Chains A and B, each alone.
Chain A
Amino acid sequence: MDLNMNVNPPHSMGTTIIGVTYNGGVVLGADSRTSTGMYVANRASDKITQLTDNVYVCRSGSAADSQIVSDYVRYFLHQHTIQLGQPATVKVAANLIRLLSYNNKNMLQTGLIVGGWDKYEGGKIYGIPLGGTLIEQPFAIGGSGSSYLYGFFDQAWKEGMTKDEAEQLVVKAVSLAIARDGASGGVVRTVIINSEGVTRNFYPGDKLPLWHEELEPQNSLLDMLNVPSPEPMNI
């Protein structure tokens, strides 16, 4: 126990967030852990937030900052859609996020990944890290858990994946980050956006693959002790 324990740390989404394009749309993914210092305040949060029917954003960093930015952008996009007379494009949504992030860079601490589908450009992913840089990418990773995924994506990412390949890649990646990042955890949520619409999926912690040094979960040690095979109790 640290003598200088942070007694009033802000709510932060340590987080792992991912956005990936595929041939027909995008897949967004995120973990579900929100922490206050070392305590997990919410183990089932939803970090993939809707901006419009066809554009969603993955939030990381300060929970408060990312919520307020997405709330403002949802509001502006709503007005913009009415004026325009048709669904807003992903680029416009991303730019609005950028304006807020850039012009308030000294006060905000949030990294965002905007993903969606529109009829002009198809599926698009925009990364907007701290500082408010806007960068269009075939895939984007963010949050503290993303540190563990750079090597993984360098190796595993391919152009022109199918919808299922893309979603599997995202689930695998978030699950790998959860295994090593203390600030990420819980369930994996994905949102798939394409011309047909939006699909939300939910992969609970016990349905994720097991990685190195992780073991198959048991109900209790007692169940293991009552099985006559290999000796579970050893000195």
Chain B
Amino acid sequence: MNFMASKQPENSLLGPEADSQRTLYPYVTGTSVVALKYKDGILMAADMGGSYGSTLRYKSVERMKPIGKHSLLGASGEISDFQEILRYLDELILYDNMWDDGNSLGPKEVHNYLTRVMYNRRNKFNPLWNSLVLGGVKNGQKYLGTVSMIGVNFEDNHVATGFGNHLARPILREEWHQNLSFEDGVRLLEKCMRVLLYRDRSAVNKLQIAKITEEGVTISQPYSLKTYWDFSAFANPAQGAVGSW
């Protein structure tokens, strides 16, 4: 007697994979994260948008979180997968604390852990649909790295995800230098975030800037950037060519 339909997909040619699932596409997504090394540590910026396709559905999503004492994680991509990663990291930090040996996981270790997680998921065709930025300071050493959803990972003086790679990195390549002050770092990040706001469809005008130094993590309260539209060319762009844009 079979009242309920089987939950197994019809296609039993799948064999052993028949009852496993895979992530096919993201639903609620965050856009770019941008980060740079400065004099005292790392500065990271991300807007607070959670897009649902082309709808700007959620505008107060925190996409940067402190990890342990020494690290800061920023994520773009599927928000639910980011939340799952935070759960994995909670467990990692818990076990690390339970050793009670005075040692604690630094940013390099956390980055390596995340790389393994992302790469192994990719190999099973069930990726966590995120691009991650991991920054931190431990024992005076600054660290800034990134991992993508397919496990590509590297460290650099400045990193970005998504559109940030195309729009922010070129600005940072020109204007970043060693030993940036906090003020200069913030201004540089804001310059990048403003360009992203103009040119990334999924950007939202509400962001946070986080800093991590030897002392610890501080994430700013949410704020918005001024935008500039006061150009004569913007007022009447089609004047010389009626019907154009």
Contact = CB atoms under 8 A, between A and B. Distances in A.
Given A40-B201, A74-B243, A182-B51, A214 B206 contact: yes
Contacts of B73: none
A52 to B, nearest CB: 11
B60 A218 contact: no
Interface of A: 1-3, 13-14, 32-35, 38-40, 42-47, 49-50, 63, 67, 70-71, 74, 144, 148, 179-183, 185-187, 200, 202, 204-206, 212-222, 224, 232-235
17 contacts: A1-B131, A1-B148, A40-B200, A42-B245, A44-B229, A49-B243, A67-B243, A74-B243, A180-B56, A182-B56, A186-B229, A204-B230, A205-B229, A213-B59, A214-B206, A221-B209, A233-B221
Contact of A182 (B202, B220, B224, B228): B202
Contact of B238 (A49, A186, A206, A219): A49
Contacts of B25: 2
Contacts of A220: 186-187, 190
Contact of B59 (A71, A206, A214, A217): A214
B11 interface: no
Contacts of B59: 212-214
A74 B234 CA distance: 23
A221 B190 contact: yes
B221 A38 contact: no
B163 interface: yes
A221 B186 contact: yes
Contacts of A42: 245
B88 interface: no
B116 interface: no
Contacts, number: 145
B27 to A, nearest CB: 12
B29 to A, nearest CB: 9
A40 B230 contact: no
Contacts of B220: 221, 224, 232-234
Residue of A181, A186, A217 with most partner-chain B CB within 10 A: A217
B243 A45 contact: no
A222 B148 CA distance: 31
A109 to B, nearest CB: 16
Interface residues of B, number: 57
B56 A200 contact: no
B187 A222 contact: yes
A217 B245 contact: no
Enumerate the 6 nearest inter-chain pairs by beta-carbon distance, A residue then B residue, closest first.
A204-B229, A45-B245, A213-B59, A44-B234, A215-B224, A217-B226
B154 interface: no
B5 interface: no
Contacts of A34: 245
A58 B242 CA distance: 13
B234 A187 contact: yes
A217 B199 contact: no
B245 A1 contact: no
Contact of A217 (B150, B201, B227): B227
B202 A205 contact: no
A224 B235 contact: no
Contacts of B222: 215
Interface stretch (B89-97, B105-113, B135-143, B211-219): B211-219
A219 to B, nearest CB: 6
A46 B238 contact: yes
Contacts of B216: 235
A110 to B, nearest CB: 13
Given A1-B162, A39-B201, A222-B187, A70 B225 contact: no
Interface in B21-76: 25-26, 51, 54-57, 59-60, 66, 76
Contacts of A1: 76-77, 131, 148-149, 161-162
Contacts of A233: 218-221
Contacts of A185: 201
B245 A183 contact: no
Given A144-B54, A233-B218, A235-B218, A46 B237 contact: yes
B183 interface: yes
